[in-house]
Structure 1
Amino acid sequence: MVRIALDPTPFHHDYGLLEFPDVTARLGYEYMQLTPHHDFSPFFRHPKADDDLVVKFKKRAQDAGVLIPALLPVQRISSPEETQRIAAVRNMKRVIELAVQLEVDTINTEFSGRPERSEDSEDAFYRSMEELLPVLEREGVKFNIDPHPDDFVENGMEAWRVIRGLNSTQVGFVYVAPHSFHMGDQASEIIPAVGDRLGAVYLSDSFNHHKSHGLRYISNPPGNAVRVHQHLKIGDGDVNFTELFGLLKKTGYLDREDALLVSNVFAEDETADEVSRYQLAKIREFIEAA
């Protein structure tokens, strides 16, 4: 049975960390992916959770009947700046410890390098993974990566090649639907190529910034090195979800016991409750239709 998880980011400003499981359950979700939060594992910094907080969070999740299938930390493991890279590896090792304490067997993350220094960033990534892979393998934690817009690798197929180059089944791919157009709008190539190394799929919508002859978004001066995308609710953008779910069904992903679909709408915090319920219903519709 495919797992549908909530990304609680829209609720960060209204609820504390320990309240997230209750919020998740109230909205009808059985699963929650824990994303960067200042009390647990903030962006690019050392995790702030201690053993006591982990125990409290774990109990709150159990009491709410909510399971945590994955953690999502973001650390600069591909930074071409060596000081940042070393810190990121140290921080990620602590995240792995937290995952083990929470009995979470999956970490979903990003490359977090720099596009203007792609070769240096790729080299940094492989050096970081030389340190992290033995830890991940020892602890039995899967490590899946999203080629995020403004990273050293954005194209989906090229990102898969970078991951494949590690030669380790411990590392997989995160397909993020709202990043479709930065990944090359090539779901029909990426998803079959990744195969059983697809570790998670994030579901929200985005406009295709290539439309209208590249003028869908205008920044001044023209030619700025900007990356624009949205995390809208399903149906509000240009992502072809019928195609996406068809591919997930055809490749067997929707039939896997470990399949993870994450609702991650960030654009409508003021209606987060309604949008979260809508997303859950819509995702179930697409699963059924596929």
Structure 2
Amino acid sequence: MKLALDPTMYADLSLKEMVDKTAELGYDYIELSPREDFIPFYKYPKVDAAKIKNLKRYCRDAGVQISSVLPVHYWAGPEEDRRQAAVRNWKRAIEVAVELEVDLMNSEFSGSKYNPVVCEEMFIRSMDELLPIFEKEGVKLNLQAHPYDFIETNAGAMDMIHALDKDWINLVYSTPHTFYYDEGKGDIDKMFDEAGDRLTHILFADTFNHIASDGLRYILNPPAVEATVHQHLNIGEGEVDFDAVFRKLKEMKFDGIATNAVFAWKDKADWSSKLMLNKMKEGLGLTEKVEG
């Protein structure tokens, strides 16, 4: 199993500082999420050969590896020009992953839940262009449903993964999205059973149930505004049933990537990152703890 840090809370650090911080915190792996000076959200990668060479050296020197590269682009549109730009961005991001010697990428379905049919059409069009490149380069892909995406549910994500029909495309289950995945029920056993052995990647963070208390866990104004809310808190600060998460992962003999994806505590990021590493290790039955 690979325990990774999503270094979003450290995006203000340089690449070298981010890698060194990951090692200092006790993590062996980095999930290379979007950052402005490398592969930004929705924009063309800002990477050249020298930057790739340097990042590989930083990781080697720190004893840290990259578990996956995580781009997020508008590959499901819904506008065609945005989709075409996203495909260009993805092609370059795949090249970067190959040059980094990383054989796994993960991402979101993107698009908009308010235009799901068109977004699905756009997504499939993008897959028609990109799947041959993934296969040619030997790069695997893990996908997650995400709040606001054209696919928000776990069942919908699994339907699409089965539809793509590639054994190298699997599921990312993001625990802070749990209550979107099954419309507020939070039934971990059912969702993990739906995923089965396609569950190869899990993101750990907590959240409140946005549907609970008649939808008043979060109060948005004006009423009925089109907004999608969730959180990425430390385990135990929200309402996700992590006892069920860890029990089920043990039953499934999960041996994939487990990523700390807490974003809420940038003002005390080191404390949060060490806390989460210990909680993940404890829950997954890995005994060694991190001091601090």
Band of TM-score, shorter chain: over 0.9
Map of 2:10 onto structure 1: 11
Establish whether residue 237 from structure 1 lines up as the match of residue 234 from structure 2: no
- Give SS of 2:203's match: strand
Runs of 5+ unmatched residues, structure 1: none
Q: State the percentage of identical aligned residues.
A: 43
Counterpart among 46, 49, 59 of residue 47 in structure 2: 49
* Structure 1 counterpart of 2:72: 74
1:114 aligned residue: 112
Letter in 2 for 1:64: A
Asked whether the 8 Å contact 2:188–2:241 carries over to 1, the reply is: no
SS across alignment from 1:154:
coil
Name the structure 1 match of 2:269: 272
> Residue 171 of structure 2 contacts residue 199 of structure 2 at CA under 8 Å; is this kept in 1?
yes
> Which string of whole-angstrom CA distances, capped at 9 and with x for unpartnered residues, describes residues 201-253 of structure 1?
00011011111121111112221221110000111000111101111121221
Query: Is contact 2:111–2:149 with CA below 8 Å preserved after alignment?
Result: yes
Aligned residues: 284
* Contact 1:145–1:173 (8 Å) recurs in 2: yes
User: In the alignment, is residue 207 of structure 1 matched against residue 202 of structure 2?
Assistant: no
Specify the code of the residue in structure 1 equivalent to 2:175.
A
Structure 2 unaligned regions, length at least 5: 288-292
How much does 1:136 deviate?
A: 0.7
The alpha-carbon deviation at position 289 of structure 1 amounts to 8.4
Q: Corresponding residue for 1:223?
A: 224
Give the drift of 1:96: 0.7
1:242 aligns to what SS in structure 2?
Answer: helix
Other structure's SS at 2:181 match: coil
Give, as a single letter, the amino acid of the residue that structure 2 aligns with 1:12: A
1:126 to 108, 114, 124: 124
Query: Contact 1:75–1:91 at 8 Å: present in 2 too?
Result: yes
The answer (yes or no) to whether the contact 1:206–1:230 under 8 Å persists in 2 is: yes
Secondary structure of residue in 2 paired with 1:116: coil
Partner-residue secondary structure (3-state), 1:194: helix
| TM-score, normalised by the number of residues in structure 2 | 0.94
- Measured after TM superposition, the shift of residue 76 of structure 1 is 0.7
Residue by residue over 1:16-62, the C-alpha shift from the partner in whole angstroms, topping out at 9 and shown as x without a partner, is 12221100000011111111011110000110111110000000000
Q: Deviations over 1:74-104 (max 9, x none)?
A: 0111112111101111111111111111111
| Helix, strand or coil at the partner of 1:74 | coil
Q: Distance in 2 between matches of 1:289 and 1:102?
A: 28
Cα deviation, residue 186, structure 1: 3.3
TM-score, normalised via structure 1 length: 0.95
- For residue 285 of structure 1, the aligned residue among 267, 282, 285 is 282
In 2, Cα distance between the equivalents of 1:59 and 1:236? Answer: 37
Structure 2 distance, partners of 1:167, 1:93, is: 21
Which 4+ stretches in 1 moved above 2 angstroms? none
Indicate the SS of the match to 1:69: strand
In 2, the alpha carbon distance for the partners of 1:249 and 1:135 equals 34
Q: Does the 8 Å CA contact 1:175/1:201 hold for their aligned counterparts?
A: yes
What is the rounded CA distance, in whole Å, between the counterparts of 1:133 and 1:189 in structure 2?
29
Q: Which amino acid aligns with 1:251?
A: M
Contact 2:73 2:90 in 1 (8 A): yes
Residue type of the alignment partner of 2:2: R
Is 1:192–1:251's contact at 8 Å kept on the other side of the alignment? Answer: no
* TM-aligned CA deviation for residue 4 of structure 1: 0.6
Q: How far apart, CA to CA, are the structure 1 residues paired with 2:86 and 2:272?
A: 33
CA–CA separation in structure 2 for the residues paired with 1:252 and 1:79:
37
Seen in structure 2, the aligned counterparts of structure 1 residues 186 and 158 have a Cα distance that, compared at 3 Å, is farther
Q: CA RMSD in A?
A: 1.3
- Partner Cα distance (2:4, 2:167) in 1: 23
